[in-house]
Amino acid sequence: MPESPIRKLVPFAEEAKKKGVKVIHLNIGQPDIKTPKIALDAVKNNTIEVLEYSRTEGSEQYREKLAKYYAKHNILVSAKDIIVTTGGSEALSFAMGSIADPSDEIIIPEPFYANYNGFATAMGLKVIPVVSHIDTNFALPPIEEFEKLISPRTKAIVICNPGNPTGYLYSREEIQKLAKIVKNHDLFLVADEVYREFTYDGKEHYSILQEPGLEQHALIVDSVSKRYSMCGARIGCLVSKNSELIQTVLKFAQARLSPPTFAQIASEAALETPQSYFDEVKEEYVARRNLLIEELEKIEGVKIGRPQGAFYCIAELPIENSDDFAQWLLEDFRLNGETVMVAPAAGFYATEGLGKNQIRIAYVLDREQLKRAVRILKEALKSYIG
Minimal distance in Å, beta carbon 35 to a copy of itself? 5
Minimal distance in Å, beta carbon 4 to a copy of itself? 5
231 binds a copy of itself (CB under 8 A): yes
DSSP symbols for 165-221: TT-----HHHHHHHHHHHHHTT-EEEEE-TTTT-B-TT-----GGGSTT-TTTEEEE
Q: From the CB of residue 141, how many other CB atoms can be counted at a distance below 10 Å?
A: 20
- Strands 22-25, 338-341: parallel, antiparallel or unpaired by DSSP? parallel
18 binds a copy of itself (CB under 8 A): no
Question: Which region, judged by CB under 8 A, interacts with a copy of itself, from 41-49, 147-155, 283-291, 318-326?
Answer: 41-49
Minimal distance in Å, beta carbon 135 to a copy of itself? 31
Nearer to a copy of itself, 259 or 309 (CB): 259
Question: Which region, judged by CB under 8 A, interacts with a copy of itself, from 125-133, 249-257, 299-307, 315-323?
Answer: 249-257
369 binds a copy of itself (CB under 8 A): no
In contact, 268 and 61? CB cutoff 8 Å: yes
The Cα–Cα gap between 203 and 168 comes to 11
The Cα–Cα gap between 178 and 176 comes to 5
Q: Among residue numbers 123 through 162, which ones bind a copy of itself (CB under 8 A)?
A: 123-124
Backbone φ and ψ for 367, nearest 5 degrees, come out as -60, -35
Question: Which region, judged by CB under 8 A, interacts with a copy of itself, from 31-39, 70-78, 204-212, 371-379?
Answer: 31-39
Minimal distance in Å, beta carbon 316 to a copy of itself? 26
In contact, 70 and 197? CB cutoff 8 Å: no
Interaction pattern, residues 177-196, with a copy of itself; x per rule: CB under 8 A: --------------------
Cα-Cα-Cα-Cα dihedral sign, residues 9, 313, 309, 279: positive
The Cα–Cα gap between 164 and 162 comes to 7
43 binds a copy of itself (CB under 8 A): yes
Cα-Cα-Cα-Cα dihedral sign, residues 72, 75, 78, 80: negative
Q: Among residue numbers 65 through 124, which ones bind a copy of itself (CB under 8 A)?
A: 86-87, 89-90, 93, 97, 102, 115, 118-119, 122-124
DSSP, collapsed to helix, strand or coil, labels residue 336 as coil
Interface with a copy of itself (CB under 8 A), residue from 53, 275, 276, 386: 53
Interface with a copy of itself (CB under 8 A), residue from 154, 207, 258, 339: 258
30 binds a copy of itself (CB under 8 A): yes
Amino acid at residue number 112: F
Interface with a copy of itself (CB under 8 A), residue from 169, 263, 313, 329: 263
Per-position b or e across 329-339, b if 16+ CB within 10 A of its CB: bbeebbeeebb
> H or E stretch including 323?
helix 322-331
By the criterion CB under 8 A, which residues form the site for a copy of itself? 1-4, 7, 30-35, 39-40, 43-46, 48-54, 86-87, 89-90, 93, 97, 102, 115, 118-119, 122-124, 229-234, 248, 251-252, 254-263, 266
